[in-house]
Amino acid sequence: MNFRIRKGQSFLLLLVFLLLAIFRQPALLYPTLDVELAGGLNAELLRGGYESPAACAAALAGLLRLQQAACADCTIRRQACIARLDPDQGDWLSVVALDRPSGRLRNGVVIYSAGQAATAAAACSALVAAAGPTDGPVLCYPAGVPRPKASAPWPAARVAVRLLAAALAALTVSWIACGWLIRTQHLHGHLSLDATAGGPQKFHAVPTPRIGGLPILAGLLVAALVLGLSSPPGERGFVARLLLASLPAFAGGVVEDLTKRVGVTQRLLLTMAAGALAAWLLGAVLPRLAIPGIDSVLKFYPLAVTVTIVAVAGLANAFNIIDGYNGLASGSAVIVLLGLAGLALKVGDVLMLQAAGVTAAATLGFLRWNWPRGRIFLGDGGAYLLGFLLAELSVLLVMRNPSVSPWCALMLMAHPVTETLYSIWRRRVQRGRHPGHPDALHMHQLVYSRLVRHAVGSRVPADKLARNSRVAPYFWIPALLLAGLLQFCWDSSRYPVGITVLYFLSYVLMYRRLVHWQAPRWLVRRSGRLPAAAAGERDA
């Protein structure tokens, strides 16, 4: 194939989508009500975001009814559906302690200012008494007290059935499509096969198709169709728009898989373009980073869009970097997706739960062929697709749910991020090379050579396959631990940051030990006795 993607074309696409994203309409609208109460007390009622003006107007009417029932003679100073929250309002909807009394509504808060604490407590008690089924329960908190948000109720049965049907469709289509590509590789192998030689990161025994991203995308497209046909009007098209946004990143990876002529810079630009497209189609823009001073700067929307697309491109590229052995990237992606689905379930975000669930199912359909048999690889297309979807789902979860810490994604993807940053430092600072220069010194490659001692030196394909497939579980276990821990600290930034720093330090310590052949003995997996035929074919 002579098709090429040039840097100029990639940059132009990025620029167009960036401009569209900057000038788009807000993704969410927040109903807010500013009320003057007796005794010099003011109250501001605020609900979470709604995707349509009609839904926001209905929620605002509900706030008005609630306030009038609690205090009929109070003065309404302002009522509106605002486009974006400022950092203070983001804190109101989160679970952090505030410096003023507050009350938590279902999907909303009321913040009291001025007046005496006793007056605020009495006003909140009146709100509790006036709350109806759609508002309550209302919980009141004094200043300086953490305000935990109760876990959302489990989705209704129809939502669970819809998710199950879409997930089964995604898994089945992905699994069947993988099998079909494997059986027909004699037709497309001249383009799709990954050779066993030609680079420092080749560890498979036989040429293998590296277009596993196509079956995953096919499964997701079918799942999007199922969800589109079965979802209520306000929820249709979410997964479809997410997949549409992923196409520039996916296309750059697939063309590289087929032509080997798309450089790292072009792929990075295309992934940034995909991030800008998601910001336009879905409003997927990070509203905050929970860093003092930075959140105020992110109120400038063009800067927030730019920061988001750089972060998305970085995470997608990080996932491509760890795609080195059977099941490593795809298995890690499934674990991260399940972690995101768990968070979505806790905050009651049905759209995010469905998107993460069907993506995990489609990836599982591929994983069945990729691990442990290694019959098909993700390739750059599949790795960029999964990395992009993971990054965007993380951004959307934080954007749609202010109670979720923006550092949750960093904790869930601690290994890809750490691997990328350490690789850049190792290549640029230690060796003086370009950060994109490939080598055989990634952590997963050291695990392969230092910890997995199965059939070392054997040329028998079965031995090489077994050794290759034993690498991934070394990384799945810490990923599962991180995803599990996050379910208990998702509403705080302190713990995700601390755990991620601890992971980084552990990575550096283990990396240095592996480089110097000082691996802990309990981590080393040795082989049993090899068959005579295999033993005779060992390398010298």
| Residue range 423-465, pLDDT digits in tens | 999 888 887 777 777 778 899 999 998 999 777 777 788 888 8
Counted domains in the chain: 2
pLDDT at 197 over 70: no
The answer to the question of residue 147 being in a domain is: no
The answer to the question of residue 532 being in a domain is: no
The verdict on 126 and 184 lying in the same domain is no
Q: Which two tokens stand for residue 435?
A: 């950060």
The answer to the question of residue 23 being in a domain is: no
The answer to the question of residue 316 being in a domain is: yes
Q: Bridge partners of 46?
A: 32, 109
pTM for the model: 0.89
The verdict on 185 and 260 lying in the same domain is yes
Closest CA to 439 of 538, 515, 345: 515
Domain region containing 116: 30-141
Closest CA to 123 of 232, 40, 215, 228: 40
The verdict on 424 and 511 lying in the same domain is yes
The verdict on 174 and 104 lying in the same domain is no
Domain-terminating residue out of 124, 141, 158: 141
Which of residues 195 and 258 earns the better pLDDT score? 258
The answer to the question of residue 157 being in a domain is: no
Lowest mean pLDDT: which of 28-37, 102-111, 141-150, 373-382?
141-150
The verdict on 125 and 174 lying in the same domain is no
Q: Which two tokens stand for residue 169?
A: 């469709």
The verdict on 326 and 362 lying in the same domain is yes
pLDDT at 351 over 90: yes
Question: What's the average model confidence in pLDDT over 529-535?
Answer: 38
Question: 178 phi and psi, to 5 degrees?
Answer: -60, -45
On whether the CB atoms of residues 246 and 281 are closer than 8 A, the answer is no
Residue-wise over 104-125: b if at least 16 C-beta within 10 A, else e? bbbbbbbbbeebeeebbbbbbe
The verdict on 73 and 108 lying in the same domain is yes
Read off the DSSP letter of residue 260. S
On whether the CB atoms of residues 219 and 382 are closer than 8 A, the answer is no
Sign of the C-alpha dihedral computed for residues 147, 148, 151 and 153 taken in this order: negative
The answer to the question of residue 463 being in a domain is: yes
Domain-terminating residue out of 125, 141, 157: 141
The answer to the question of residue 319 being in a domain is: yes
> What's the whole-number average pLDDT of the chain?
88
On whether the CB atoms of residues 182 and 366 are closer than 8 A, the answer is no
CA separation (Å) from 361 to 216, 366, 409?
Answer: 9, 9, 20
The verdict on 130 and 230 lying in the same domain is no
Categorize the per-residue pLDDT at 61 as very low, low, confident or very high, splitting at 50, 70 and 90: very high
Residue-level pLDDT at 434: 75
The verdict on 133 and 188 lying in the same domain is no
The verdict on 173 and 117 lying in the same domain is no
Domain-terminating residue out of 100, 124, 141: 141
pLDDT at 154 over 90: no
The verdict on 83 and 208 lying in the same domain is no
Q: Which two tokens stand for residue 467?
A: 């050794």
The verdict on 519 and 391 lying in the same domain is yes
The SS3 call for residue 395 is: helix
Residue-level pLDDT at 531: 42
The answer to the question of residue 266 being in a domain is: yes
